[in-house]
């Protein structure tokens, strides 16, 4: 399995979908110049994260058109793009989505683990892992709060994920100031190390964010972090590392399955 170059583009999404669209297109251009094969943007990066913006754009008829334009722009540059948006759930509510497309078939993941803030705006999605294929890698997608649930990581690994991409709005009030900034990077590193699973986090660049966008390798080591703009990282597949890491993954999955 060949190494894979990935990117996260951190910006602060607003309730103005056209401004958000322009920022995403700019991020795609930057990622293409950096020779990345995948670029990820924060949670609700197209529609704006409602608890932060105070506005909900889910009924904006331009959203679907702008999303298709983003996917087409990524396809022209042979990139897989992952970004956040929203859409009706067919039952009178809306879903918080991760949309993947471009140099892969378009797929949509609905956030299933919702915070109290999320539940004021969104309905939970179905409990189904989503994997996208990028240059031979199987990459699991997650949205923010889902990573607090251990089951997501193990279900993704059991489904064959070689790596994980997380889009997030990890920002806002912290009941224990400073705790999330310390704990969340450690959580990502621990999960990467447990499952020999490289991770890319595309977080918001909002001033009240708890942590920067970042990437970890299959050993759990931090490859880089960036508060705003483009972060680029190169992943090695676990099969190219010492066999110890493949054994760690097998043992962790066997333990989880019982």
- How many domains are there within the chain? 1
The packing angle between helices 179-195 and 150-158, to 10°, is 20
As a whole number, mean pLDDT of residues 119-124 equals 96
Contact by Cβ (8 Å): 97, 109: yes
pLDDT tens digit sequence for 69-112 = 999 999 999 999 999 999 999 999 999 999 999 999 999 999 99
Compute the half-sphere exposure of residue 86: CA atoms within 13 Å on the CB side of its CA.
Answer: 26
Backbone angles phi, psi at 15, to 5 degrees: -85, 0
pLDDT number for residue 126? 87
Find, among 89, 44, 80, the residue nearest to 63 by Cα.
44
pLDDT tens digit sequence for 143-154 = 999 999 999 999
Evaluate if residue 208 carries a pLDDT over 90.
yes
Measured distance CA(237)–CA(56) in Å, rounded: 39
**Other Cβ atoms within 10 Å of 182 Cβ, number:** 11
Evaluate if residue 258 carries a pLDDT over 90.
no
Evaluate if residue 135 carries a pLDDT over 90.
yes
As a whole number, mean pLDDT of residues 158-187 equals 96
Find the distance separating the first CA and the last CA of the chain, reported in whole Å: 29
Evaluate if residue 127 carries a pLDDT over 90.
no
Q: What is the CATH number of the domain that holds 245?
A: 3.60.110.10
pLDDT number for residue 190? 97
pLDDT number for residue 79? 98
Sheet containing strand 229-235, edge to edge, reads 107-110, 94-102, 80-88, 38-40, 4-10, 229-235
- Residue 1's pLDDT band, with cuts at 50, 70 and 90, is confident
- Lowest mean pLDDT segment, chosen from 41-45, 147-151, 190-194, 230-234: 147-151
Q: Measure the CA dihedral 232/99/56/229, to 10°.
A: 10
Domain containing residue 102:
4-257
Whether this model's pTM surpasses 0.75: yes
- Lowest mean pLDDT segment, chosen from 127-136, 161-170, 194-203: 127-136
- Residue 204's pLDDT band, with cuts at 50, 70 and 90, is very high
Measured distance CA(206)–CA(27) in Å, rounded: 16
The 3-class SS string of 100-166 reads EEECCCCEEEECCCCCHHHHCCCCCCCCCCCEEEECCEEEEEEEHHHHHCHHHHHHHHHCCCCEEEE
Helix runs in the chain, H state only: 17-33, 50-53, 62-76, 116-119, 150-158, 179-195, 243-257
Evaluate if residue 129 carries a pLDDT over 90.
no
Evaluate if residue 236 carries a pLDDT over 90.
yes
Measured distance CA(64)–CA(70) in Å, rounded: 10
Sheet containing strand 199-203, edge to edge, reads 131-134, 137-143, 163-168, 199-203, 213-216, 222-226
Backbone angles phi, psi at 152, to 5 degrees: -60, -45
Contact by Cβ (8 Å): 165, 144: no
pLDDT number for residue 197? 98
Quote the mean pLDDT of the chain: 96
- Percentage, residues of the chain above pLDDT 90: 97
């Amino acid at each position: 399995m060949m190494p894979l170059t990935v990117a996260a583009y951190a910006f602060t999404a607003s309730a103005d979908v056209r401004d958000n669209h322009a920022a995403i297109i700019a991020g795609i251009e930057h990622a293409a110049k950096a020779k990345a094969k995948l670029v990820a943007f924060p949670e609700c990066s197209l529609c704006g994260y409602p608890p932060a913006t105070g506005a909900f754009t889910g009924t904006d008829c331009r959203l679907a058109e702008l999303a298709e334009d983003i996917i087409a722009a990524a396809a022209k540059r042979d990139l897989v793009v992952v970004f956040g948006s929203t859409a009706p759930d067919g039952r009178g509510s809306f879903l918080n989505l991760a949309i993947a497309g471009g140099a892969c078939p378009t797929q949509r993941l609905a956030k299933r683990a919702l915070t109290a803030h999320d539940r004021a705006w969104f309905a939970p999605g179905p409990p189904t892992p989503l994997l996208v294929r990028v240059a031979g890698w199987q990459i699991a997608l997650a949205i923010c709060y889902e990573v607090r649930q251990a089951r997501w990581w193990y279900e993704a690994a059991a489904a064959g994920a070689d790596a994980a991409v997380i889009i997030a709005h990890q920002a806002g009030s912290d009941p224990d100031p400073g705790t999330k900034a310390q704990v969340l990077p450690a959580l990502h590193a621990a999960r990467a190390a447990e499952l020999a699973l490289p991770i890319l986090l595309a977080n918001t660049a909002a001033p009240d964010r708890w942590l920067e966008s970042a990437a970890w390798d299959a050993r759990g080591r931090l490859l880089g972090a960036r508060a705003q703009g483009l972060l680029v990282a190169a992943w090695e597949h676990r099969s190219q590392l010492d066999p110890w890491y493949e054994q760690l993954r097998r043992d962790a999955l066997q333990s989880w399955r019982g």
